[in-house]
Homo-oligomer: A and B are copies of this chain.
Amino acid sequence: MKREIFYPESVAIIGASQDTGKAGHQLMKSLLDEGFTGTIYPVHPREEEILGLKCYKTLKDIEDTVDLIIISIPAFAVLDVMQEAAERGDVKTAIIISAGFSETAIPERVDLEKEIVELAHKNNIRIFGPNCNGFINTENKFTTSFAPGQNLSPGDIGFITQSGSFGGSVMMMAAEEPKSLGFNKWSHLGNMADVTNMEILESYETDPKINVVGLYMEGVREGRELMEIGSRVSREKPVLTIKVGRTELGSKAALSHTGTLAGSDQVYDTAFKQSGIVRVETIEELVDGLKATSMLPRASSSKIAILTECGGPGIISMDEIDNDDVAELAHVSTETVEKLKEALPPMAMVCKPDGYIDMTAAALEKEHADAMRLLLDDPGVDSLLVISLPPTFLPAEGVAEVIAEVAAEYDKPVAACFMKGEDMEPSRKYLEEHGVPTFETPERSARALINNIKCSLEIKSDRVRGLKPQDKLLFNKDKFSNLITEFTPEERNPLEPEVYDFLEKYEIDLLPHSFVASRDEALAKAEELGYPLVMKVVSPQVIHKSDVGGVKLNLKNSEEVGKAYDGLMADIKKNVPNADIKGVILTPMAAGGLEVIIGVTRDPQFGPTVMFGLGGVFVEVFKDISFRIAPFTEEDAREMIEETRAYQLLKGVRGEKPKDIEALAELLVKIGDLVTLNPAIKELDLNPVMVQEDGFTILDARIITD
């Protein structure tokens, strides 16, 4: 999408109205009130003038150029207007505010939306919406939002939302900050019938006026697009996202809201992680994070020191930092500790624990200044949080001045927590006007600094981000694509021996195994393989083999193999009468090890996704699993293992020797690569995989292709 779309010079409002209760009136009023720098043409079939401007009966009647049209009329009349716009030939963009299209899931409304989009495509008109709030550009004071209480303070934030009211709320909250938080652009795409949130993200990527990106997300149409674009943007600019539908019910509500299938929240979480997008949990955390990243320099490490004169709030911020996986308390040198003790009141608690200084209410301006300088001079300290609730005998303004003065001397992130309240407002305003972001509570202050750290580390990091490039796959694309089709000749899923043959093509270590079609062959092959053995039925109709007597374990000699064969056949015939038994597979009994599972599903948004977790009954009970969207690197695979508790077991607990994590990581990478090369694979399960000190054993494998 071209960035110019955000800079229309002439705008027609279809549905402009005298009636203050109509969106068309308010939209026009906002443009006038905000001082939109372009020309406005109201369009209404019967009015002569609206809000002091000449009104046109139809779009056709406007003689001068029209860059953009805003449509706020009933859904059924939109197509005609779009036809008129097409005929004009000058309209580049249509913002369709009107609702009542595909979001209703009514077939004719869905079709109507399609027809409108087709018409627009043919005529090179880009559409925002329908069912949207359009966009805001604070440079030219353009806005089609009808959220109340907006304040188009200019700034460097680019925002994208899938909910008009959420986006409006963020603007309202931003306007309420001591110093209004400044936005550059804000976009709401509604049904995303044409322009998508990802296209906007891409346009923000190269927008020189945008330094920080915020996203409200319910879902995306194309997960891989999110990863591709997100990975690029997060290298350059902080990208903070709130993704709703975290729970099952929330996800259902999201589905009926904009119709984007929400997909698994855990897969989204993985996608954000792989792409360097920082996920936040609440509206407040999003606004605070945008403020912190917009106002602060990038952090160069994860170390935060806390300087407080309030014990309680100080402890709360400690809890928040200690609870986070990335941020950590600063390590203050013993030299600095000694100097702090000299500079501070005798009751002060200095570095108990390390990185935490409670000056107590006895600290005045000088103590604040001295302690801040000592901490910021220490190379062990990167970010600094100053928590202050100046008592009535110490003027808050004086403390604010000192904090701002010292913060300005350093290129390290310094934030201040001044509690919410009328009395603190002037000090907070002073601080923010002098470059120090302030936050209302210790929890929120700590989280804001943490989110600045996370975004900063993403920008600094040179890790492979997003999906592994196709040319880094372990297997040659020309030779190794679509091999699965060779192993599934009929209209059915591959059988276990076929799955093994397929996996072997990708150099995946397997136990020796033989597929045999008769009792005699079984007896002969058993001698070749050696004992003890496992025998498993091979039949397209038998899925849960153990449940129906289809697995015979620990066969120690020829006689037992014979007996097992007979027993297995009898059991299957009894339990699955319609089973077409192709034969049995023989493998040696496996060595021990830790039981894990590896699975692959195709996520509706993100495509092939590999899952890793602890095996056995614990999968269901502890849900100790992690995901990566394929293909991914070995570094990703290792992180994927480390994210689970199973990792603790793999490393070895209670003096046990560590298991072969390297081999497991390599297996995960191979699985990710092979499912990427075989789009026909819908599901793949290696379950269980026993991981030993040296290597692993795949005990069962299953692929679904239909």
Contact of A419 among B169, B318, B361 (CB under 8 A): B169
A67 at the interface (CB under 8 A from B): no
Question: Are the C-beta atoms of B253 and A621 separated by less than 8 Å?
Answer: no
A309 contacts partner chain B, Cβ-Cβ < 8 Å: yes
**Min C-beta distance of A611 to chain B, whole Å:** 18
A162 CA to B312 CA, complexed, in Å: 8
Hey, what's the 0/1 contact readout for A663-705 against B, CB within 8 Å counting as 1? 0000000000000000000000000000000000000000000
Residues of B contacting A104 in the complex (Cβ-Cβ under 8 angstroms): 346-347
Contact with B along A90-114 (1 / 0, CB 8 A): 0000000001100110000000000
**Copies of this chain present:** 2
| Complex CA–CA separation, A396 to B146 (angstroms) | 13
| Contact indicator B313/A392 (Cβ below 8 Å) | no
Chain B residues with Cβ under 8 A from A70's Cβ?
A: none
For residues 435 through 490 of chain A, which have their beta carbon under 8 Å from a beta carbon of chain B?
441-443
Report B-chain residues with C-beta under 8 Å of the C-beta of A622: 622, 624, 645
Does A23 count as interface, using CB distance less than 8 angstroms?
A: yes
Which residues of B sit under 8 angstroms from A443, Cβ to Cβ?
A: 282-284
**A311 CB contacts on chain B under 8 angstroms:** 163, 165-166, 253, 257-258
Known: A149-B421, A329-B249, A621-B653. A244 touches B161 (CB 8 A): no
Stretch at the interface among A39-47, A58-66, A226-234, A350-358: A350-358
Residues in B with CB closer than 8 Å to A654 are: 617, 620
State whether B253 touches A353 (Cβ < 8 A). yes
Are B310 and A617 in contact (CB-based, < 8 A)? no
Residues on B with beta carbons closer than 8 Å to the beta carbon of A148: 389-392, 396, 421, 423-424
The answer to whether B216 touches A312 (Cβ under 8 A) is yes
Stretch at the interface among A170-178, A518-526, A580-588: A170-178
Please choose the segment from A319-327, A509-517, A528-536, A550-558 that sits at the chain B interface, where 4 or more of its residues have CB less than 8 A away.
A319-327
A248 contacts B by Cβ under 8 Å: yes
Beta-carbon contacts under 8 Å, A609-645 to B: 617-618, 620-622, 624, 645
Q: How far is the CA of A322 from the CA of B253 in the complex (A)?
A: 11
Measured CA separation A252–B258 after assembly (Å): 47
Give, as a whole number of angstroms, the nearest-CB distance from A454 to chain B.
18
- Please pick, from B146, B389, B392, the residue contacting A26 in the complex, using a CB distance under 8 A: B392
In the bound complex, how far is the Cα of B319 from the Cα of A248, in angstroms? Answer: 8
Contact A391 B146 (CB under 8 A): yes
Q: How far is the CB of A39 from chain B (nearest CB, A)?
A: 22
A157-168 vs B, Cβ < 8 Å mask (1 yes, 0 no): 000011111111
Question: Is A257 a contact partner of B312 (Cβ separation < 8 A)?
Answer: yes
Please encode chain A, from 1 to 42, with 1 for each CB lying within 8 Å of some chain B CB and 0 for all others. 000000000000000000011110110011000000000000
Q: Which of B321, B358, B620 contacts A648 (CB 8 A)?
A: B620
A649 within 8 A of B: yes
Q: Is A314 an interface residue (CB 8 A)?
A: yes
CB distance from A691 to the nearest CB of B (A): 14
Bound CA span A323–B253, Å: 14
Which residues of B have CB within 8 Å of A576? none
Residue of B whose beta carbon sits closest to that of A655: B547
Give A176-216 as 1s and 0s: 1 = Cβ < 8 Å from B's Cβ atoms: 10000000000000000000000000000000000000001
A79 contacts chain B at the CB level, 8 A cutoff: no
Cβ of A549 within 8 Å of any chain B Cβ, yes or no, is no
Q: Which of B146, B284, B420 contacts A176 (CB 8 A)?
A: B420
Given A358-B256, A422-B149, answer yes or no on A26-B313 (Cβ-Cβ < 8 Å). no
Taking a contact as CB atoms under 8 Å apart, the answer to whether B314 and A253 are in contact is: yes
Q: Does A78 belong to the interface (CB within 8 Å)?
A: no
User: Cβ of A120 < 8 Å from any Cβ of B?
Assistant: no
CB contact under 8 A between A617 and B653, given known A315-B245, A622-B645:
yes
A394 in the interface, Cβ–Cβ < 8 Å? yes
Contacts of A624 in B (CB 8 A): 622
Contact of A30 (CB < 8 Å), options: B310, B360, B392: B392
| C-alpha spacing A100/B285, complex, angstroms | 38
Cβ-defined contact, A172 with B257, below 8 A: no
Measured CB to CB, the closest approach of chain B to A161, in angstroms, equals 7
Assess the B358–A253 pair: CB atoms within 8 A.
yes
Does A421 lie within 8 Å of B389, measured CB to CB? no
Task: Name the distance in Å between A480's Cβ and chain B's nearest Cβ.
Answer: 36
Whether B253 and A165, one on each chain, are in contact in the complex, defined by CB atoms closer than 8 angstroms, is no
Chain B's nearest CB lies how many Å from the CB of A655? 8
Which residues of B are found within 8 Å of A165, using beta-carbon distances?
Answer: 309-313, 361, 389
Q: How does the 8 Å CB contact mask read for A352-375 relative to B, with 1 for contact and 0 for none?
A: 110010101110000000000000
Cα–Cα distance between A624 and B246 once the two chains are bound (Å): 23
- The distance in angstroms between the C-alpha atoms of A355 and B385, with both chains bound, is 42
Given the known interface contacts A148-B391, A148-B396, A393-B146, the answer about A218 and B249 at a Cβ–Cβ threshold of 8 Å is no
A149 to B362, CA, bound (A): 19
What residues of chain B lie closer than 8 Å to A592, measured between beta carbons?
A: none
Using A167-B312, A169-B420, A175-B422 as known contacts, list a sample of 10 further A-B pairs with CB atoms less than 8 Å apart, ordered by residue number in A. Answer: A104-B346, A146-B392, A162-B312, A173-B420, A245-B319, A247-B318, A248-B322, A250-B319, A253-B311, A283-B443
Cβ contacts A to B, 29 pairs, < 8 Å: A23-B391, A23-B393, A26-B391, A99-B360, A147-B392, A148-B423, A148-B424, A163-B310, A163-B312, A166-B312, A169-B419, A175-B422, A216-B312, A244-B312, A245-B315, A245-B319, A249-B318, A249-B319, A249-B321, A249-B322, A250-B316, A250-B319, A253-B318, A256-B352, A257-B358, A258-B311, A617-B649, A617-B654, A620-B648
Residues of A at the B interface (CB closer than 8 Å) are 20-23, 25-26, 29-30, 99-100, 103-104, 146-149, 161-169, 172-173, 175-176, 216, 218, 244-250, 252-254, 256-258, 282-284, 309-316, 318-319, 321-323, 329, 346-347, 349, 352-353, 356, 358, 360-362, 389-394, 396, 419-424, 441-443, 617-618, 620-622, 624, 645-646, 648-649, 653-654
4 smallest beta-carbon distances between A and B, as pairs: A163-B312, A166-B312, A165-B310, A149-B423
